[in-house]
């Protein structure tokens, strides 16, 4: 498997992946708009084709994970872990932390992030709709005194 930057002509595949994974998927237009933003980065995991992706938005020294998703038939093979680890390795020197929101019911994602050193730093009440659910705020700190 390789992980590399998303190419513009691959955006439709990411929109398909979003539809497969989420009740409120990012549209192709939203992905394209973020893709063209200098503060965002998108990376794909590839076997023969794209099997997963991860996106990050950066503001100053803070990294916000936009989404991570793996096609259902490729889950459970370490691809999600490889994508998050890729961001950790790429940004651990330049950012203070990586953070994200996740549904507490999303056991696979919560376990994935927890196993990589992300800790709960807060909760946003009724953040998600369809179905309504709080968001867990998970953060991995890179600076020495807060790193776990
Ligand atoms: C979350 C997601 C990206 C994980 O991708 P994946 O490639 O299947 O994950 P990996 O195989 O790398 O597993 C890494 C860890 O995640 C956790 N995990 C993955 N699938 C799990 C499951 N079905 N149940 C419980 N924990 C699970 C485990 O801790 C696992 O580590 P282990 O293999 O040592 O037990 C994938 O399930 C997905 O695309 N889900 C839909 C999209 C989504 O919810 N994204 C997160 C939004 S914040």
Candidate from 112, 115, 127, 130 with most ligand 1 atoms within 8 A of CB, to mutate: 112
CA nearest ligand 1 atom 8, residue: 75
Pinpoint the alpha helices (H) of 75-134: 79-91, 107-115
Domains of the chain: 2-141 (3.40.630.30)
pLDDT tens string 41-72:
999 999 999 999 999 999 999 999 999 999 99
Closest to 52 measured CA to CA, from 89, 13, 23, 85: 13
Would the CB of 103 count as within 6 Å of ligand 1?
Answer: no
Q: How far apart are CA 58 and CA 128, in angstroms?
A: 22
pTM summary value? 0.96
pLDDT tens string 5-46:
999 999 999 999 999 999 889 999 999 999 999 999 999 999
| C-alpha 83 – ligand 1 centre gap (Å) | 11
């Amino acid at each position: 498997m390789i992980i590399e930057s998303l190419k513009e002509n691959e955006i439709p595949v990411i929109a398909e992946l979003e539809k497969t994974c989420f009740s409120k998927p990012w549209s192709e237009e939203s992905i394209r708009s973020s893709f063209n933003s200098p503060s965002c980065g998108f990376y794909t995991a590839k076997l023969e084709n794209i099997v997963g992706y991860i996106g990050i938005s950066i503001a100053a020294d803070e990294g916000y994970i936009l989404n991570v998703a793996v096609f259902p038939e490729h889950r459970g093979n370490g691809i999600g872990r490889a994508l998050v680890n890729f961001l950790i390795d790429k940004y651990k020197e330049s950012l203070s932390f990586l953070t994200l929101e996740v549904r507490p019911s999303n056991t696979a994602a919560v376990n994935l992030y927890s196993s990589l050193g992300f800790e709960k730093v807060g909760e946003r009440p009724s953040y998600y709709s369809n179905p309504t659910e709080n968001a867990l705020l998970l953060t991995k700190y890179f600076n020495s005194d807060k790193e776990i």
